Amino acid sequence: MGALFRSEEMNLCQIFLQSEAAYACVSELGELGMVQFKDLNPDVNAFQRKFVSEIMRCEEMERKLRYIHRELKKDGMKIPDRDENPKAPAPKEMIDLEATFEKIESELKEVNTNAEALRRNYLELTELKEVLKKTQIFFAEHGRHGIVDDAQHALAHDEGGGGFVPVTSVQLGFVAGVIPREKVPAFERLLWFANRGNTFLKHDEIDQPLEDPVSGDAISKCVFLIFFQGEQLKARVRKICEGFKATLYPCPESASERVEMLNGVSTRLEDLNTVLHQTEDHRKRVLMSAQKEIRPWIIKVKKIKAIYHTLNMCNFDVSHNSLIAECWTPVSGLEEIQSALKHGTELSGSTVPSILHRMQTKEVPPTYFKTNKFTTVFQEIIDAYGIATYQEVNPAPYAIISFPFLFAVMFGDFGHGFIMFLAGLWMVITEKKLTSGKSDNEIMSMFVGGRYIITMMGLFSVYTGLIYNDCFSKSVNIFGSGWHPSYDFRTLQKETSWTMNPADHFDNTTGPYPFGVDPIWQSSMNKITFTNSLKMKMSVIFGVSQMLLGVLLSFVNHAYFRRPLNVFCEFIPQLVFLMCLFGYLVALVFYKWLFFTAECPQYAPQLLIQFINMFLLTYTPRVMPANFTGDLYACTSIEPTSINATSQTVFFEHQQPIQITLVILALLMVPTMLLVKPFVLRARHNARVKRRQGLYATSQRTLIHNEEHPEPSDDSKGVKGDKPEAHLSDIELGAVRGKDNIAINGEEEDGGIVGHSEVGISEPEEDEEEFDMGEVFIHQAIHTIEYCLGCISHTASYLRLWALSLAHAQLSEVLWSMLFRFGLTFDMAYVGGILLWAVFGAFAVVTVAVLLLMEGLSAFLHTLRLHWVEFNSKFYMGDGYKFAPYNFKHLLDADLDE
């Protein structure tokens, strides 16, 4: 948890790598995953870098692997997902990998080309076989002369309307072929219109679906016969067939020749089918051999490519034949990084060790948190709002508890929470199985990734459900109710009169219900009045408490970054403003709970009216009667009218001066936050400018004096005591002035960050950034207005805890009363049980779909808003950038098609 509270301490390191050991060292650093390299060649084109040829070779290998991967998918062969992490191969092994991939790719391409040619030949022979069979059937059914006579009668009609010409005078020819089924109607119409009805078409569909030789998809075709007269029509028919991409096949006129050709085609088809099976078997053998090794190959190629991409980010020192890299590393991992560099040097066989040198820099380091599989999901929720500034307080440790708790406040139901807890627990128990393979279902992957937070939210919902005493909209009486109403049966039948009055029905002898809400409220008509009041006050208490925690955490940030000005000008006024107004409201809630019991409900104040009157300075004092001798503010049995007591009168001693003092203090904090810091920054700026001008004038006088009166050099003469500032060298004077040089960026924040001055003396205008008082004042005004208005709006925003809790409880009650309770009223033997089973199924489905998924998602989003806006805005800047280490782990799950 300590590592989560504040980000890891980072440093900028410089690594000197010998050329022969650079590849192995970078490979070991990738396996370690604790180094973020900086690109030292940002202006160099990607095609002009040193290792661009090696990267192009890796991309070519990836292309070949993608081709093999597609072939595996085409045959439905899955890539085995084994838990293996092969090391990055040495550079000399790239040649072997390239040769292996080239051999497999060429072999697959050759097999695919041959198989495609064989399938095309097989398709043509199959179509020819179908043409011969259909033609044989045509002539067998109608006879050769019968079909020709029909065609002759159809074609011998006189175009002038003069009847028929003699049958023996018409000489007919025919062509046979195959055409796609969907083109037959258009083909038939075009034949008719293009030839003016002088052709006769006969077609029939092929029963078995044919296979496309390229895509392998099933296609449907028809066999056709076209009868015509003359060579001119024959040429026209062939052109129309060519336009429709119909395939024409030779078909003998005699039956014996057709039978002989059909037997020959069948024999060739059997031989071709045997060759096709052998080709497919050979292809499968090649793919099966590649299937076993393709996952390690993918990982190796991606690692090689990542290594050379990283080496391209380094500078090449020609004189020393070495590579120079700069990287961000966590301080806690320096020993592991040095061990990885040593191991890489040993693997490469180099005798010159790699050097890791820590650098001093003014750059802002990246933010890095050490997380595990439990805390990762909470950290990702915070990172979605903004990456923490370096060394800033991290809200994630507090979100581990507050996030599921606030969710449970809105989702408080024992039954629903228990179902959610079981679902999350199942995903936690089976996490190895669920996370082992890559799922295409994004929603399921999201649920699996948040399995721990789902389990926590369900567990906390079980607790709040016990507090609310709510289980599927029903209450459970475990300890015995503390209410004992005296209603008779006749009164109970009147639902409107069944209300709970503390003065009449609460039993002081038994006391309140030991844990949670008394179950008797579930049957009361004024249940919502009671629960609304309880949940509303609880929402305000939780909201003010969480905002107070956020303000206190801002002090931790200011103290850590040494911002004393922010502590006095921001933290203290913010704390006083919050506590004087809303902290006082929370105190009033507890005061009312403690001092106003069921014995005197007539004296209970209305806190909302009291809080409004606090700002309006409107007070209604209690009037003591002449004969009153007791405590005016005690809970007594005297009627409220006797002492002029209402819900708007003062209800504790010295209430008016206390509230006036709190309002004045809160109002005074507004100008304090608004004005003090800008004027303090301006005063510091003016003092710094005067100091620098004085130092500059002194240095100028010293230089003139030394030119007019040069001192003789005496090496034997020692320096006694400290040098006066006027006699300091440029470098020494720069070191002295460094104490007074405060970074302007730090001043915008708090004026407490000490920077470094440039070496030497220059004009004050060159060293000093212009101080814009207006910009600083506007920035502080925005910050002040945002905080003051935010305290009011954020406190009201926490009322969503009450609103969503009420909505969830009412939806659950409506679902029970309108569905399940209706099913329990069935009074039918046997059939009633079946109907009740169906009703329970519908009740379960609606419960899971609406109350668990939809309501759960709604409560999750509202909880997310409370943490991002209401809580984080009090202390969290989120202006950092995430530590992105050079790591091989993300390559293990990388998809080849990405």
User: pLDDT at residue 414 above 90?
Assistant: yes
The whole-angstrom separation of Cα 407 and Cα 861 is 9
H-helix segments, 561-583: 564-566, 572-578
Pick from 418, 530, 515: nearest CA to 476: 515
The model's confidence at residue 756, banded by pLDDT at 50, 70 and 90, is very low
pLDDT at 702: 73
Computed from CA positions of residues 443, 446, 448, 451, in that sequence, does the dihedral angle turn out positive or negative?
negative
Dump pLDDT digits (tens) for 519-564.
Answer: 888 877 778 888 888 999 999 999 999 999 999 999 999 999 999 9
Q: Tell me, what's the pLDDT at 390? A: 93
Lookup: tokens for 100: 């292996």
Q: What is the DSSP string of 193-228?
A: HHTTT--EEEEEE-SSPEE-TTT--EE-EEEEEEEE
* 208 confidence band (pLDDT: 50, 70, 90): confident
How high is the pLDDT of residue 725?
A: 40
Spatial neighbors of 458 by CB under 8 A, at least 6 apart, are 417, 418, 419, 420, 421, 422, 423, 424, 425
DSSP H/E element including 326: strand 322-330
Stretch 166-181: mean pLDDT: 72
Helices (H), 244-317: 255-291, 294-311
- Please give the torsion angle defined by the CA atoms of residues 256, 262, 265 and 269, in that order, rounded to the nearest 10 degrees: -150
CA end-to-end span of the chain: 36
227: CB partners within 8 A, 6+ apart:
147, 148, 151, 155, 172, 173, 174, 199, 200, 202
pLDDT at 129: 87
Whole-angstrom Cα distance, residue 305 to residue 59?
A: 8
For residue 729, name the pLDDT band (cuts at 50, 70, 90).
very low
Separation between Cα atoms, residue 188 and residue 202, nearest integer Å: 10
- pLDDT digit string (tens) for 120-156? 898 888 888 888 888 888 777 765 555 555 555 555 5
In terms of pLDDT, which residue wins out, 487 or 694?
694
Tell me: pLDDT of 724 over 50: no
Confidence of residue 824 (pLDDT cuts 50, 70, 90): confident
Q: How confident is the model at residue 488 (pLDDT cuts 50, 70, 90)?
A: low
Q: What does the pLDDT read at residue 321? A: 83
User: In this predicted structure, what is the pLDDT of residue 758?
Assistant: 35
Pair of tokens at residue 293: 């090794």
Mean pLDDT of 824-843: 78
Q: pLDDT tens, 643-690?
A: 556 667 787 888 889 999 999 999 999 999 999 999 999 888 888 888
* C-alpha radius of gyration, the chain, whole number: 44
Residue 410 has pLDDT above 90, yes or no: yes
pLDDT, tens digit, for every residue of 229-266?
888 888 888 898 988 888 888 888 788 888 888 899 88
Residue 712 has pLDDT above 60, yes or no: no
Q: Is the pTM of this model over 0.85?
A: no
Interatomic CA distance for residues 379 and 370, integer angstroms: 10
pLDDT tier, 867 (very low <50, low <70, confident <90, very high otherwise): very high
Instruction: Give tens-digit pLDDT for 587-600.
Output: 999 988 888 776 66
Q: Provide the pLDDT confidence category of residue 158 given band limits of 50, 70 and 90.
A: very low
With 80 as the cut, is the pLDDT of residue 485 above it?
no
pLDDT at 547: 96
pLDDT, tens digit, 9 for 90 and up, residues 64-83 = 999 999 899 888 888 877 67
| Structure confidence at residue 817 (pLDDT) | 83
Burial of 223 (0-12, 13-18, 19+ CB in 10 A): buried
Q: What is the pLDDT of residue 764?
A: 41
Is the pLDDT reported for residue 52 higher than 70?
yes
Average pLDDT over residues 282-297: 89
Between 340 and 756, residue with greater pLDDT: 340
Looking at residue 238, its amino acid is R
Distances (CA, A) of 80 to 84, 554, 600: 11, 51, 75
Average pLDDT over residues 403-432: 94
Confidence of residue 715 (pLDDT cuts 50, 70, 90): very low
Confidence of residue 47 (pLDDT cuts 50, 70, 90): confident
Q: What is the pLDDT of residue 808?
A: 92
| Average pLDDT over the chain, rounded to an integer | 82
| pLDDT at position 770 over 90 | no
Rounded to whole angstroms, the Cα distance separating 478 from 261 reads 93
pLDDT of residue 304: 94
pLDDT above 70 (res 602): no
User: Which residue in 805, 839, 808 sits closest to 821, CA to CA?
Assistant: 839
With 0-12 CB in 10 A as exposed, 13-18 as middle and 19+ as buried, what is 637?
A: exposed
Q: What is the DSSP letter of 366?
A: P
Residue 741 DSSP label: -
Mean pLDDT, rounded, for 29-37? 93
Confidence of residue 707 (pLDDT cuts 50, 70, 90): low
**What is the pLDDT, as a whole number, of residue 200?**
81
pLDDT at residue 734, as a whole number: 39
Mean pLDDT, rounded, for 464-483: 87
pLDDT digits (tens, 9 = 90+) for 777-790: 999 999 999 999 99
User: What's the pLDDT band for 640 if we cut at 50, 70, 90?
Assistant: low
User: Which helix (H) or strand (E) segment is 132 a member of?
Assistant: helix 93-142
As a whole number, mean pLDDT of residues 633-641 equals 52
Q: Which residue has the higher pLDDT, 639 or 760?
A: 639
What φ, ψ does residue 710 adopt, rounded to 5°?
Answer: -70, 140
User: What percent of the chain has a predicted confidence (pLDDT) above 70?
Assistant: 81
